[in-house]
Amino acid sequence: MKHITRTVWVLSLVSLFTDVASEMLYPIMPIYLKTIGFSIVLIGILEGVAEATAGLSKGYFGKLSDNTGKRVPFVQLGYTLSALSKPMMAIFSYPLWIFFSRTIDRFGKGIRTGARDAILSDEATPETKGKIFGLHRAMDTFGAVLGPLFALLYLYFNPEHYKTLFYIAFAPGSLAVLSSFYLKDKNKGQPKPREKTTFFSFLRYWKTSPKNYRKVVGGLLAFALFNSSDIFLLLKAKQSGLNDTQVIGVYIFYNLVYALFAFPTGILADKIGLKKIFVLGLVLFAIVYFGMGLSSNIYVIAGLFFLYGIYAAATEGISKAWISNITNKEDVATAIGTYSGFQSIGTMLASSLAGLIWYQFGASATFILTGITTILIILYFLFFIRIKTKQHQ
């Protein structure tokens, strides 16, 4: 396809294989954790801590990638750690080991994210960012369709045998690592040797970043503070009467919708504007959360997961494409890493808070509160973000 380079295809395949491995486990994760003694509160804390670890490392390694002028080594190391973490979660079921293994997985994501997204940005122009990031999200999410399908097939013949899946997931994870060796850095010999990179040095970027970056990312982070882990949506589906197989099935359905809509949504965003598509995604998100809070009908739940898939297609890749267009080209990994770092801290707080609210007041209160705050964030984007975005070359 036009404007899609070999590097973009390789990165997309690497992400596909990784998501096959990760998403094979994701829908059964809350079920598995409950079988080994995790409460709903502890599940929320686990996901929050894991995401916070990923976030802080995204900022640091994004900054380090920009300073060294290297991208590919960060991508390769990050995917390697994520692959190794899969069998680790099955070796022991002690809570501390589970926390360690899950954190290693997210740490790997933190290492690779900024560098990977900077590569994607370099392979696009400001006018094709939506398309490039959309294709990558589509391929990535297609892995999230194949993974749960395999898990569904496996559990059909081996009910409740969750641990073996963690070992099986190592295979596609390894394919992702091997595929990453087809990547090569283009911008060799362009480091910034005079700038020392400490673990929290990426935080300084917030002060020096373009004003429009701070305005856009400020709104994105406000949303992250109330956007808890998707695990809570799966728990709501389970609570509404779906069995384990049906929970995995509805998760596959959501990812299929996401994968199918991500690329065309990216193309549309390039034509009518990244902001318009992103705000539309937030509207769908609010509808989904209000629906989850007010209904337990399994058919309504299925319809909401359809809308949730479109929401994801309209926001996940679009937000990164948007950020890459409002920052200097040489700072893209830092810009995305800084945003992702703060976003993951927000996710940690959101997941922990969602678990506590669910425990104290029930599922409905959790979802309705999120829906209300999302409406406020939509108004912010509509009335306070008006500046035309274009990447500084």
Beta strands in the chain (DSSP E): none
Beta bridge partners of 328: 392
Distance CA 89, CA 302 (A): 30
Residue 170, judged by CB atoms within 10 A of its CB (0-12, 13-18, 19+), counts as middle
Encode pLDDT of 86-120 as tens digits.
888 878 777 777 778 888 888 898 899 889 988 99
Who's near 91: CB < 8 A, 6+ residues apart?
97
CA 120 to chain centre: 16
**For residue 27, what pLDDT is reported?**
66
**pLDDT tens track for 114-123:** 899 889 988 8
Q: Which CATH architecture has domain 6-179+203-384?
A: Up-down Bundle (1.20)
- Is 244 exposed, middle or buried (CB count within 10 Å of its CB: 0-12, 13-18, 19+)? middle
Q: CB of 141 within 8 A of CB of 17?
A: no
CA dist., res. 77 & res. 73, Å (int):
6
- Name 384's Cβ contacts closer than 8 Å, sequence gap at least 6: 215, 219
Mean pLDDT of the chain: 84
Alpha-carbon distance 289 to 366, whole Å? 9
Per the structure block, which two tokens stand in for 89?
């979660």
Q: Is 196 helix (H, G, I), strand (E, B) or coil?
A: coil
Per-residue pLDDT of the chain (393 residues; tens, 9 = 90+): 667 889 999 999 999 999 999 888 876 777 777 777 777 677 767 766 776 666 778 888 888 888 888 889 999 999 999 999 888 887 877 777 777 888 888 889 889 988 998 899 888 888 888 899 999 999 998 998 898 888 878 888 888 787 888 899 999 999 999 999 999 887 654 555 556 666 666 777 778 788 888 889 899 999 988 888 787 888 888 888 888 778 878 888 998 999 999 999 999 998 988 999 999 999 999 999 999 988 888 888 889 999 999 999 999 889 988 998 888 887 888 888 888 878 877 877 887 788 888 888 888 888 999 899 999 999 999 888 765 544 443
